[in-house]
Amino acid sequence: MTVHQQLFMNGTWRTPAGPGLIDVESASTQETIGRVPEGSPDDVDAAAEAASCAFESWSQTTPQERADWLDKIAAELEVRAPDIAKTIAQEVGSPLSMATSIQAGLPVMVTKSYAQLARTFQFEESIGNSLILREPAGIVGAITPWNYPLHQIMAKVAPALAAGCTVILKPSEIAPLNAFLLAEVCESIGLPPGVVNIVSGYGTVVGEAIATHPLVDMVSFTGSLRAGRRVMALASDTIKKVTLELGGKSANVILEDAPLEKAVGVGVKNAMLNSGQTCSAWTRMIVPRARQDEVVDIAVKTLQSLKVGDPMDASSRLGPLISGPQRARVESYIQTGKREGARLVAGGSRPAEFVRGYYVQPTLFADVQSTMTIAQEEIFGPVLSILPYDSENEAISIANDTIYGLAGGVWSADADRAMQVARRIRAGQVDINGGRYNPLAPFGGYKQSGVGRELGKYGLEEYFQVKSLAR
């Protein structure tokens, strides 16, 4: 068991203000696998002072210097990738194969991308008689989730550092151990004191202290819609800049001429990635009514090919949910779907073979109407809804019929037609015929899916203030 009794701030390990520790539980065994400090507002004060002191010098470093530091972080994260993957597989329940390629691999990729951007980005430009400067926003409070913990951390920390900001990070209390690995990386490479400070703790305590702290200039939050509303409200008292990456109820629109086997197979796997605990998951499959039975057959076969198992088993493709409360939430939605008249065609209960761990069978509903709860609310579990439509316009209307607008997909044998449909979907990111992941493309949502963007140059721009010098 890994026990951390100190917090990382000002370049060293510091005893927290209070004695409390938070237990970290394995999602697959329900055993306590670690403990981290239960941070307090006093610890946030100390971290803010450290970040403030460091900002004066860090903000004056050159982009090249900051890029070099990011390269060092990326290199050390890459060396530690096996430990990171194993840690997150235990904390979150992500199968080890997925934890290796995504949970440990993406943070390295993202950090390298920001090192490159720091070297090539245009920090200054002339417009008429004015010199326009992009200057660091200041001290950034980064509040991150548990589902892709280190990836979400580096999607905030890397651009903040590239821009010249200093950071106070609050990782999720459910999956915080990977953040302490990052602290060890910062210490081992000799990152200047106060540039990255990590305070573990509960969102209602540490998160709210960050959102209200007078020294914090900007808050970047990823998490639930409810918590995002709270962060935005708290930050408004001091008029902080806020970026939010919140929920999703993403639509996968399959047009009648689409290659059905591929579209459905890829769509099911997308919806089930990380046991459905993915904000951008295509949880609504919108299909031609006349082909719904074919879609269901393909979807069921695809689900049957995804082995549910121990995350540490190399053959497992789906692991458990993160916690008991999360499993209860998902099970409640499954019951609601049945009660409201959706047709359960696969899954719907707990796998009998697992005595321990927060497992739920991958679940498929058909004949789902857009007014149903399971078609409107983010479930955040391995539950896919199939919604039939009768016309292209109706398919687009269904796709846009939620409070969210994070991501989605469109499939057609005619790529131009798919592109035209994608243009009409109100979402921040739409994949055409299974478009490949692009770490340089902006990620973020319309409507209540959030404010602002992450990744690439658009993510970097969130961490600037813009100054005009007239000549």
Q: Could you tell me the pLDDT band of residue 22, with boundaries at 50, 70 and 90?
A: very high
pLDDT of residue 217: 98
How confident is the model over 343-360, as pLDDT tens digits? 999 999 999 999 999 999
How confident is the model over 140-186, as pLDDT tens digits? 999 999 999 999 999 999 999 999 999 999 999 999 999 999 999 99
How confident is the model over 3-14, as pLDDT tens digits? 999 999 999 999
pLDDT of residue 120: 97
- Residue with token string 């000799």: 190
pLDDT of residue 424: 98
pLDDT of residue 176: 98
pLDDT of residue 82: 97
Rg (CA), the chain: 22
Catalytically active residues, by annotation: 245, 279
Q: Could you tell me the pLDDT band of residue 85, with boundaries at 50, 70 and 90?
A: very high
pLDDT of residue 59: 98
How confident is the model over 303-336, as pLDDT tens digits? 999 999 999 999 999 999 999 999 999 999 999 9
pLDDT of residue 75: 98
Residue range 441-469: mean pLDDT, rounded: 98
pLDDT of residue 55: 98
pLDDT of residue 330: 98
Q: Average pLDDT, whole number, for the chain?
A: 98
For residue 93, what are the contacts with CB-CB under 8 A and spacing of at least 6? 26, 27, 28, 275, 311, 319, 320, 321, 322, 357, 358
CB distance 24 to 1 below 8 Å: no
Looking at this protein, which amino acid is placed at residue 165? C
pLDDT of residue 433: 98
- Find the DSSP H helices in 350-444: 373-376, 392-399, 415-423
Global pTM value: 0.97
* CA distance readout (Å), 369 to 268, 343, 372: 19, 11, 6
Residue 131: exposure state from Cβ atoms within 10 A (0-12, 13-18, ≥19): middle
Q: Could you tell me the pLDDT band of residue 302, with boundaries at 50, 70 and 90?
A: very high
Q: Could you tell me the pLDDT band of residue 228, with boundaries at 50, 70 and 90?
A: very high
- Find the DSSP H helices in 283-340: 292-304, 324-339
pLDDT of residue 457: 98
Sorted by where each starts, the structural domains of the chain and their CATH numbers stand as: 2-246+449-470 (3.40.605.10), 251-439 (3.40.309.10)
pLDDT of residue 220: 98
Q: State how far the Cα of 282 lies from the Cα of 343, in Å rounded to an integer.
A: 19
SS3 349: coil
